Chain A
Amino acid sequence: MTQETRMLDSVERYIRGEMLPDERVYFEQLRKTNAEVDQLVVEQTLFFQQMNRFGEWKKFKNSLQDIHTDLAQQGSINSDKLKGNAKVVYLWNRYKRVAAIAASIAGVTAIGLSILVNSFGPHKESPKIQALVNEVKILKDKAKVLDTKIENVDRKKADNTTTIIPKYNGTGFLIDTKGLMITNAHVVKNSRNIFVQNNKGDQFKAFVVKLDVSRDLAILKIDDEKFKPSLNLPYSLRKTPSDIAEPIFTLGYPRDEIVYSEGYLSAKTGYNGDTLSCQVGIAANPGNSGGPVFDRNGEVIGILSTKEMQAEGVVFAIQSKYILQALDELKKDSLYHNIKVPLTSGLHGMDKVKQVEKVQDYVFMVKGD
Chain B
Amino acid sequence: MKSEINEKELLEGLARSDRKAVETIYKENYNMVQALIINNNGSADDAKDIFQEAMIVLYEKVRSGNFELSCQIRTYVYSVSRRLWLKRLQQINRYQPDMEGAGETVAVEEELEVHERLDTEFALIEKGLSSLGEPCKSLLEAYYLQKRSMSEIAAAFGYTNADNAKTQKYKCLMRLKRFFFDQYKTTEK
Contact = CB atoms under 8 A, between A and B. Distances in A.
Interface stretch (A76-84, A129-137, A204-212): A76-84
Interface residues of B, number: 34
B173 A8 contact: yes
Interface of B is mostly: helix
Interface in B97-132: 118, 121-122, 125-126
Interface stretch (A46-54, A179-187, A274-282, A290-298): A46-54
Nearest to B177: A47
A60 B170 contact: no
Interface in A40-61: 48, 50-51, 53-61
**Among the interface residues A48, A63, A65, A77, which one has the most CB atoms of the partner chain B within 10 A?**
A77
Interface string A251-267: 00000000000000000
A248 to B, nearest CB: 44
Contacts of B185: none
A10 to B, nearest CB: 11
Given A1-B167, A4-B170, A54-B125, A48 B144 contact: yes
Nearest to A77: B30
Contacts of B26: 64, 67-68, 71, 77
A9 interface: yes
Contacts of B60: 57
Contacts of A65: 52
Nearest to B129: A54
Given A54-B145, A77-B27, A78-B31, A68 B52 contact: yes
Nearest to B141: A55
A80 B45 CA distance: 10
Contacts of A50: 121, 125
Interface of A: 1-2, 4-5, 8-9, 16, 18, 48, 50-51, 53-61, 63-65, 67-68, 70-71, 76-80
Interface of B: 17, 19, 22-23, 26-27, 30-31, 34, 44, 47-48, 52, 55-56, 59-60, 63, 118, 121-122, 125-126, 144-147, 149-150, 163, 166-167, 170, 173
7 contacts: A1-B163, A51-B125, A51-B144, A61-B56, A64-B55, A67-B19, A71-B26
